[in-house]
Amino acid sequence: MDEPVALSLAVEQYLARLRVERRCSAHTLDAYGRDLGALVQWMTANGHAAWCSLTSEALRTFIASEHRRGLSGKSLQRRLSACRGLLRDLLRRGAIAADPSAGLHAPKAPRKLPQVLDADEMGRLVEVPTDVPLGLRDRAMLELFYSSGLRLSELCGLRWGALDLAEGLVRVDGKGNKTRIVPVGRFARDALQAWRAQATVTAETPVFPGRGGAPISARAVQLRVKQLAQRQGVWKRVHPHLLRHSFASHVLESSGDLRGVQELLGHADIATTQIYTHLDFQHLARVYDAAHPRARRKPGSPG
């Protein structure tokens, strides 16, 4: 068998197993295919005829060459992750004697801080008029996003039976089928009650139905949130996850309770939540710069 064909065949077999055994999405399989295809191309060009000839040093050289080609830290991390998955699979099947990716790390990707809406922008956004078609629904949707910090998928899949408006609570099925109970604020409760009064509902009725009574699609919510922001004069790039970011930042800013915010957001790892401490610090730094008489040097003052 021709060497490049043999290398590529191992990749195809691995991707087939991911599709069948782990039910990976087409998007994930396409990305892995591109990453592993790049590795096969590099191995062929550099005299590596079989997977057993790929050493840790050779794999490190491959990642370095991809870095020189301009791949970002995030792309390199994904590329190395794909390589690591394939090599571990080959090791389990006895095709290689050792995993050359063990202990190998891609350059860290700089973590971008999420943008948030300030309290005034958020107030302007949620106060959409309710005397227009779908106005009650839109108000309820925006208020619930901001009140409870829901993910887009959580809001789309929400049923009336998960809401206890009397107690101000919502039961959310989050990532990994993990359930959490989240408070629902007064304004969101009022908006949801007004929206519910428009139709006869059961516990299984979607809170926000789309066509045919099925739950509204994520894409429909994304487009609607963008439209509503423009109508309300909020000119940042507004999307559902921005409302979740704003919720988390505002709660942390007021409470300082990082663990509490972690539970409200449903983060498995507090490291994911810690990004909001940086947002909070940025806010405090701006307050300090604006308020403290000696926070900044005056223009032209000596260093």
Residue whose tokens read 């050289």: 61
3-state secondary structure of 150: coil
State the average pLDDT over residues 168-192. 84
Rounded to the nearest integer, the mean pLDDT of the chain is 81
Q: Which of 67, 84, 241, 283 is catalytic?
A: 241
Exposed e or buried b per residue across 120-136, where buried means at least 16 C-beta atoms within 10 angstroms of its C-beta: ebbeebbebeeeeeeeb
Q: Give per-residue pLDDT as tens, 33-75.
A: 999 999 999 999 998 888 888 889 999 899 889 888 888 877 8
Active site residue 241: yes
Task: Check 151, 189, 245, 250 and give the catalytic one.
Answer: 151
Convert the pLDDT of each residue in 108-117 to its tens digit. 656 665 677 8
Sheet holding 163-164, edge to edge: 163-164, 169-173, 179-183
pLDDT value, residue 195: 96
Separation of alpha carbons 267 and 260, rounded Å: 11
The confidence score (pLDDT) of residue 253 equals: 64
- Let me know if 276 is a catalytic residue: yes
Tokens of 234: 């909020």
First to last CA, the chain: 71
Q: Is 151 a catalytic residue?
A: yes
| Low-confidence winner among 46-50, 70-74, 122-126, 191-195 (lowest mean pLDDT) | 70-74
Whether 250 is a known active-site residue: answer no
Task: Let me know how long the chain is.
Answer: 303
How many angstroms separate the CA atoms of 65 and 84, rounded?
A: 17
- Give CA separation, 5 vs 1, 50, 90, 98, 193, in Å: 7, 10, 16, 22, 62
pLDDT digits (tens, 9 = 90+) for 86-106: 999 999 988 888 888 888 876
What pLDDT was estimated at residue 301?
44
From the candidates 224, 244, 245, 250, which is the catalytic residue? 244
Separation CA 280–CA 121 (nearest Å): 17
Identify the active-site residue in 92, 93, 105, 175: 175
pLDDT of residue 256: 60
pLDDT over 90, % of the chain: 32
Which residues, at least 6 apart from 111, have a Cβ–Cβ distance to it below 8 Å?
Answer: 275
